[in-house]
Amino acid sequence: MNAGNRMTRKMFGTDGVRGLANKEPITPQTLLRLAMAVGQRFRRGDHRHLVVIGKDTRLSGYMLEPALTAGFVSMGMDVVLVGPLPTPAVAVMTRSLRADLGVVISASHNPYFDNGIKLFGPDGYKLSDDEEAAIEQLMDSPDLEPAESGDLGRARRLDDAQGRYIEYVKQTFPRGLRLDGLRIVVDCANGAAYKVAPTVLWELGADVVSIGVEPDGTNINRNCGATAPETLSERVVATGADLGLALDGDADRVIICDEHGAIVDGDQLMALIAGEWRAADRLRGGGVVATVMSNLGFERHLGGMGLELVRTAVGDRYVVEKMREGDYNLGGEQSGHIIMSDYGTTGDGLIAALQVLAALVTRNEAASEICRVFETLPQLLRNVRFGGGAPLDDKRVRDAIAEGKSALGSGGRLVIRKSGTEPLIRVMAQGEDEILVGNVVAEIVGAIEQVGGR
């Protein structure tokens, strides 16, 4: 099953299973069944099977963690609980511990009342669409085979998981470089990186100003983090910092702001890293992998360097798949998911930030000078919440989309898609003319709202 027909799955979206906590499918009983199905799918061979389970700081994690643990243990699999830890850290720990599975309990950038499950195979990569479809079929099957009473798994906590990840991340920073003399504001979104991110920056020598490091179970991503970088910008300016970085709730994405508080998105960060790596003869594949949402200015900038921008469907899993197919070592999303296959198997906001900081130190220039790599073309994204049905199949919406494509012409881009994690339709347009882009988006959004918006 490929990215184009992923919607045939019922539970899984673009990034695992996600929904309102304690409502289907994010209920203890359903996730226990999910764990059993995943366990059976990955119960291969006679060795003692192991599952690593991490989570972010949401209140519902206390409910979902034991349900998943019970499901895996019932299938005869041992479980290692690592507690609050970034999603990329769980991928790292899965490989490091030679585990058969990695599980993250997180809804990433969503508010606290949502939660979700992300799954990693023994190689540290997120599961394919085919694997997810097979797991869904097993959940509905009477053929699950729990372990015998004497063969149940065991669960234990791994106390040094955070320390292991901190050292792993520090090893990705170029040997011989330090952050001494730099003041850095880090916004951890009251999420999974609230301990590890400030520690990494401090141990590398920075003067660290930490915000979003007081999780209470309900304040994850609330007016902070990568989806609300205004708080970061204000603190950077107020403290005279050299740079600010904002992670999201599970720390797999990063948004940066320069010393003036100006926001720098994932496209600009990938362009910066691509330039640095190409100069050092480190960039593989002849380009960068990104999604259909990335800015046309980024594509043109790479083209001017003789590099290609390879586009995929939205979702960092699809970026990773294309990277592996073409041996690219850099890819990501405009939202700040940046995947560097030299260092990891999934987006890692903290490691990506260190690559930017390495350029800052090496070039001895201000963030405002190195982070504005290309001129962004006018781009507008609006989200329309809908109450059910299929608004995109309605003739009025189809006509509005067709008219928008015609108006933008060959020099523009129009992307209309359902969110894989929320009941939203995302309408994005890019082009040379900012007013035209705005009008195209407004017309399509208006048609969707007429048909099924709420």
Among residues 204, 208, 207, the alpha carbon closest in space to that of 176 is found at: 204
pLDDT band for 1, please (50, 70, 90 cuts): very low
Judge if 148 and 16 occupy the same domain: yes
Domain boundary residue, one of 310, 339, 370: 370
- On the CB side of 248, CA atoms within 13 Å amount to 24
In what helix (H) or strand (E) does residue 18 lie, and over which residues does it extend?
strand 16-20
Task: Judge whether residue 61 has pLDDT over 90.
Answer: yes
Judge if 341 and 303 occupy the same domain: yes
Provide the residue type at 287 as one letter.
G
How many CB atoms neighbour CB 160 within 10 A? 10
| ∠ Cα 316 317 320 (to 5°) | 85
220 torsion bin: left (phi>0), alpha (psi -120 to 50), beta (else): beta
Judge if 344 and 390 occupy the same domain: no
Task: Judge whether residue 5 has pLDDT over 70.
Answer: no
> Looking at residue 3, what is its pLDDT?
41
Matching residue, tokens 């998981």: 161
> Looking at residue 422, what is its pLDDT?
75
> Looking at residue 7, what is its pLDDT?
41
Judge if 8 and 141 occupy the same domain: yes
The rounded distance, in Å, linking the Cα atoms of 50 and 101 is: 7
The rounded distance, in Å, linking the Cα atoms of 102 and 55 is: 11
Task: Judge whether residue 84 has pLDDT over 80.
Answer: yes
- On the CB side of 454, CA atoms within 13 Å amount to 8
> Looking at residue 37, what is its pLDDT?
97
What percentage of the chain reaches a pLDDT higher than 90?
Answer: 89
Domain count, the chain: 4
Judge if 130 and 178 occupy the same domain: no
> Looking at residue 199, what is its pLDDT?
98
Judge if 250 and 273 occupy the same domain: no
Judge if 110 and 35 occupy the same domain: yes
Judge if 432 and 351 occupy the same domain: no
Task: Judge whether residue 387 has pLDDT over 80.
Answer: no
Judge if 30 and 89 occupy the same domain: yes
Domain boundary residue, one of 119, 137, 159: 159
Task: Judge whether residue 208 has pLDDT over 50.
Answer: yes
Judge if 21 and 59 occupy the same domain: yes
Most confident among 60-64, 378-382, 394-398 (mean pLDDT): 60-64
Average pLDDT over residues 69-88: 98
Task: Judge whether residue 421 has pLDDT over 80.
Answer: no
Range of the domain at 203: 164-263
| CATH number, domain containing residue 219 | 3.40.120.10
Among residues 392, 417, 430, 445, the alpha carbon closest in space to that of 314 is found at: 417
What percentage of the chain reaches a pLDDT higher than 70?
Answer: 97
pTM of the full structure: 0.90
Task: Judge whether residue 162 has pLDDT over 80.
Answer: yes
Task: Judge whether residue 365 has pLDDT over 70.
Answer: yes
3-state DSSP assignment of residue 278: helix
Provide the residue type at 256 as one letter.
I
> Looking at residue 419, what is its pLDDT?
81
| ∠ Cα 343 347 349 (to 5°) | 90
Domain boundary residue, one of 345, 370, 395: 370
Task: Judge whether residue 398 has pLDDT over 70.
Answer: yes
Tens of pLDDT, residues 240-299: 999 999 999 999 999 999 999 999 999 999 999 999 999 999 999 999 999 999 999 999
Instruction: Single out the catalytic residue among 60, 108, 335, 341.
Output: 108
| CATH number, domain containing residue 410 | 3.30.310.50
> Looking at residue 133, what is its pLDDT?
94
For the residues of 213-250, what is the DSSP string, one character each? ----SS-TTTT-STT-THHHHHHHHHHT-SEEEEE-TT
Q: 1-16: string of b/e by CB count within 10 Å (b at 16+)?
A: eeeeebeebebbbbbb
**What is the torsional sign of CA 327, 333, 334, 339?**
negative
Q: How many helices (H) and strands (E) does the chain have?
A: 14, 19
> Looking at residue 389, what is its pLDDT?
76
Task: Judge whether residue 71 has pLDDT over 70.
Answer: yes
108 labelled catalytic? yes
pLDDT band for 85, please (50, 70, 90 cuts): very high
> Looking at residue 8, what is its pLDDT?
60
Average pLDDT over residues 399-403: 95
Judge if 38 and 173 occupy the same domain: no
Instruction: Provide the β-strand partners of residue 244.
Output: 185, 257
Matching residue, tokens 């359902």: 418
The rounded distance, in Å, linking the Cα atoms of 295 and 271 is: 11
**What is the torsional sign of CA 53, 424, 271, 367?**
negative
3-state DSSP assignment of residue 2: coil
Mean pLDDT of the chain: 94
Residue that wins the pLDDT comparison between 419 and 161: 161
Tens of pLDDT, residues 177-192: 999 999 999 999 999 9
How many CB atoms neighbour CB 167 within 10 A? 12
* Cβ contact 104:55 at 8 Å: yes
Judge if 14 and 111 occupy the same domain: yes
